[in-house]
Protein backbone atom coordinates (compact mmCIF):
# COMPACT_ATOMS: atom_id res chain seq x y z
CA UNK A 1 0.00 0.00 0.00
CA UNK A 2 1.27 3.43 -0.89
CA UNK A 3 0.52 6.19 1.58
CA UNK A 4 0.49 9.60 -0.05
CA UNK A 5 1.36 12.41 2.30
CA UNK A 6 -1.18 15.21 2.05
CA UNK A 7 -0.16 18.65 3.11
CA UNK A 8 -2.46 20.32 5.61
CA UNK A 9 -2.91 24.03 6.22
CA UNK A 10 -4.19 24.97 9.64
CA UNK A 11 -5.22 28.25 11.24
CA UNK A 12 -3.74 29.89 14.33
CA UNK A 13 -6.26 29.62 17.21
CA UNK A 14 -4.66 32.26 19.42
CA UNK A 15 -5.36 35.93 20.05
CA UNK A 16 -2.38 38.22 20.35
CA UNK A 17 -1.96 39.98 23.64
CA UNK A 18 -2.88 43.62 23.18
CA UNK A 19 -0.01 45.93 24.09
CA UNK A 20 -1.14 47.88 27.10
CA UNK A 21 -2.18 51.38 26.13
CA UNK A 22 -1.82 52.45 29.74
CA UNK A 23 0.82 55.08 30.38
CA UNK A 24 2.40 55.57 33.77
CA UNK A 25 1.33 58.92 35.16
CA UNK A 26 3.99 61.49 35.90
CA UNK A 27 5.23 61.04 39.46
CA UNK A 28 4.82 64.07 41.72
CA UNK A 29 8.07 65.57 43.01
CA UNK A 30 6.70 65.67 46.53
CA UNK A 31 3.67 64.48 48.47
CA UNK A 32 3.52 67.80 50.35
CA UNK A 33 0.19 69.41 49.60
CA UNK A 34 -1.09 66.33 47.73
CA UNK A 35 -4.36 64.50 48.47
CA UNK A 36 -3.57 60.79 48.73
CA UNK A 37 -6.16 58.09 47.97
CA UNK A 38 -6.00 54.71 49.70
CA UNK A 39 -7.90 52.01 47.79
CA UNK A 40 -8.28 48.69 49.62
CA UNK A 41 -9.15 45.72 47.40
CA UNK A 42 -11.73 44.17 49.71
CA UNK A 43 -9.56 41.40 51.13
CA UNK A 44 -9.47 41.24 54.93
CA UNK A 45 -6.60 43.39 56.29
CA UNK A 46 -6.02 45.34 53.05
CA UNK A 47 -7.70 48.35 54.71
CA UNK A 48 -5.57 47.93 57.85
CA UNK A 49 -2.37 47.86 55.79
CA UNK A 50 -3.40 51.04 53.99
CA UNK A 51 -4.35 52.77 57.25
CA UNK A 52 -0.81 52.13 58.43
CA UNK A 53 0.66 53.42 55.17
CA UNK A 54 -1.52 56.52 55.47
CA UNK A 55 -0.27 57.19 59.01
CA UNK A 56 3.37 56.88 57.91
CA UNK A 57 2.83 59.24 54.99
CA UNK A 58 1.20 61.79 57.28
CA UNK A 59 4.19 61.61 59.61
CA UNK A 60 6.69 62.12 56.79
CA UNK A 61 4.89 64.61 54.50
CA UNK A 62 2.50 67.53 54.73
CA UNK A 63 -0.28 65.54 53.07
CA UNK A 64 -3.26 67.68 52.18
CA UNK A 65 -5.79 64.91 52.92
CA UNK A 66 -6.26 61.13 52.89
CA UNK A 67 -9.22 59.59 51.06
CA UNK A 68 -9.69 55.95 52.10
CA UNK A 69 -12.02 53.74 50.07
CA UNK A 70 -12.59 49.98 49.85
CA UNK A 71 -13.68 48.43 46.57
CA UNK A 72 -15.29 45.66 48.60
CA UNK A 73 -14.71 42.70 46.27
CA UNK A 74 -11.18 41.57 45.44
CA UNK A 75 -12.30 39.72 42.32
CA UNK A 76 -14.25 42.47 40.64
CA UNK A 77 -13.09 45.85 39.31
CA UNK A 78 -13.54 48.87 41.56
CA UNK A 79 -17.00 50.41 41.08
CA UNK A 80 -16.91 53.37 38.70
CA UNK A 81 -18.09 55.91 41.31
CA UNK A 82 -15.10 55.06 43.53
CA UNK A 83 -12.65 55.31 40.62
CA UNK A 84 -14.17 58.62 39.51
CA UNK A 85 -14.10 60.03 43.04
CA UNK A 86 -10.45 59.09 43.59
CA UNK A 87 -9.47 60.42 40.16
CA UNK A 88 -11.22 63.70 40.89
CA UNK A 89 -9.90 64.27 44.40
CA UNK A 90 -6.45 62.71 44.56
CA UNK A 91 -3.03 63.44 43.15
CA UNK A 92 -1.82 59.96 44.12
CA UNK A 93 -3.66 56.70 44.83
CA UNK A 94 -2.13 53.73 46.62
CA UNK A 95 -3.78 50.31 46.51
CA UNK A 96 -3.19 47.17 48.52
CA UNK A 97 -4.22 43.56 48.72
CA UNK A 98 -4.42 41.54 51.92
CA UNK A 99 -5.78 38.25 53.22
Partner 1 sequence: MATLASQQYTVESPLEAIELCYRMGWTDGLPVVPPSQQRVLQFLEHAGREPSQPVLVEPVTGRIVTVEKAAINAVMAGCLPEHFPVVLAALEAMSDPDFNLHGATLNTGGSAVMAVVNGPIVQRIGMNSGVALFCPGNRANATIGRALHLVLWNCTGNRPDELDKTVMGHGGRYSMCIAEREEALPQGWQPFHVERGLPAGSSAVTVFTAAHPLQAGYHGSPDPKEILINVADTMTVLPPWNQELLMVVSPEILRHFDKARWSKADVGEFLFQEARRPGYAVRRAHKFRYSYHAQAAGDQDMLPVLDRPEALDIVAGGGEGGAFVLVVALYGNGIHSRSITREVQLKGTQEV
Q: How far is the CB of 4 from partner 1 (least distance, A)?
A: 10
CA gyration radius, the chain: 23
The C-alpha angle with vertex 95 and arms to 89 and 99, in degrees rounded to 5, equals 140
Give the nearer residue to partner 1 in terms of CB position, either 77 or 81.
Answer: 77
Q: Cβ–Cβ contacts within 10 Å for residue 85, how many?
A: 14
Q: Is 8 in the site for partner 1 (CB under 8 A)?
A: yes
Part of the chain binding partner 1 (CB under 8 A), chosen from 30-38, 53-61, 74-82, 84-92: 74-82
- Length of the chain counted residue by residue: 99
The residues of the shown chain that bind partner 1, judged by CB under 8 A, are 5-18, 44-45, 73, 75-77, 99
Amino acid sequence: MVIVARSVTILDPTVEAIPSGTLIARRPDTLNGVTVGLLANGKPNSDKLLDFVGQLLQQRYQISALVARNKGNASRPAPAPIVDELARQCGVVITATGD
